[in-house]
Amino acid sequence: MRRTLKLCTILTFAFLYIPILVLVVASFNAGHDIAQFQGFTLYNYGELFEDKFLLLLLRNSFIMAIVSAVLATAIGTLAAIGIQAMAPRVRSAVMSVTNIPLTNPDIVTGVSLALLFSFVGLLLKRQDAMLGFATLLIAHVTFNLPYVILSVLPKLRQMDPSLRDAALDLGCRPYQAFFKVTIFEILPGIISGFIMAFTMSLDDFVISYFVYGPKFITLPVEIYTQTKKPLHPKIYALFTLMFFAMLLLMIIMNLLQSRDEKRRRNRIFPLGAR
């Protein structure tokens, strides 16, 4: 049984990371054929940093990811606090509605948002100029919100409510208790939600494809238009850098979660009581 589990684990990691390994190797390949390694080179990376159009698209993607993640984190955190304060039955119903975007196919969400923006543009008589940065931002915040809520809610459940009550008894006003106690206690969940929203926004294509405008194009949408012909090796270099950037973010998120879990255990089981 153990051998079978190990084999399944090895196969799983192989399917997940062998394509990425091929991509990384191809980014350093001196030739254009990924099936034949013709020598190590950094030329593709030099080509990448000289391509102003690709760098502009990458900048657009990072701007969209950061702005949408900040908004989604702020709104999602407040929503999670409000949901946690609801009665159990109401909370369960609200969470069911909140989780719908997680199971809803991206193409359905994208088409729905596109129809909504077209309808609003028709009402405002600005249908031709409606799609752009604003519509992309609204769409990204919309599909990021559930991830932030699901990241913050567990931390709210783990939080000792007596801490906030103690802060109020010691003279803190409600907003002071919120910023000095509540935010501090759920901060790991907020950071995890932000990182999750950032990564989801950065690589989103399906929803973005339906709501973007010609004045603001993100990298995934443009890469899709280039897949109809062989990709230039500098694209492999770009994907490699993005992969390692996301890997770094995931490592940071895991370290924060481990640190928070250790701090919570130390609070429950003080060193002297062990």
- Residue 198 counted as domain residue: yes
Residue at 241 is within a domain: yes
Is residue 61 within 8 Å of 218, Cβ to Cβ? yes
pLDDT digits (tens, 9 = 90+) for 18-32: 888 888 888 888 877
Which one, of 12, 141, 15, 153, lies nearest residue 80 by Cα? 153
CB 261 within 8 A of CB 253: no
CA distance linking residue 83 with residue 149, whole number of Å: 9
Q: Which residues contact 24 (CB under 8 A, 6 or more apart)?
A: 240, 243
- pLDDT at residue 129 in the model: 57
Token representation of residue 123? 């009402």
67 within some domain: yes
Residues of the chain whose pLDDT is less than 70?
126-130, 260, 264, 267-274
CA angle 94, 95, 98 (to 5 degrees): 90
Domain assignment present for 84: yes
Buried b vs exposed e over 81-120: b needs ≥16 C-beta within 10 Å? bebbeeeeeeeeeeeeebeebeeeebeebbeebbeebeee
Per the CB < 8 A criterion, the answer to whether 238 and 54 are in contact is: yes
Predicted pLDDT at 144: 93
Binning the chain into helix, strand and coil, the percentages to the nearest 5 are 80, 0, 20
Determine the pLDDT at residue 222: 84
User: φ, ψ for residue 172 (rounded to 5)?
Assistant: -75, 140
| Tokens coding 7 | 């084999």
Q: What CATH number has the domain bearing residue 109?
A: 1.10.3720.10
Nearest to 202 by CA among 162, 169, 250: 250
217 conformational bin, left if phi > 0, alpha if psi -120 to 50, beta if neither:
beta
Q: Is residue 26 part of a domain?
A: no
What pLDDT was estimated at residue 256? 74
The answer to whether residue 38 sits within a structural domain is: no
- Left, alpha or beta for 171 (phi > 0: left; psi -120 to 50: alpha)? left
* Domain encompassing residue 183: 49-265
Task: Indicate the number of domains in the chain.
Answer: 1
What is the per-residue pLDDT for 274? Answer: 47
Query: Is residue 11, in this structure, part of any structural domain at all?
Result: no
- The residues facing 216 across adjacent strands are 213
Residues near 205 by beta carbon (within 8 Å), at least 6 away in sequence: 220, 221, 224
CA distance linking residue 247 with residue 233, whole number of Å: 21
At residue 218's C-alpha, the angle toward residues 77 and 132, to 5°, is 80
What's this model's pTM, rounded to 2 decimal places? 0.82
Inter-residue contact 199 to 67 (CB < 8 Å): no
Q: In this structure, are residues 168 and 187 in contact, taking their beta carbons and an 8 Å threshold?
A: no
Query: Would residue 35 count as lying in a domain?
Result: no
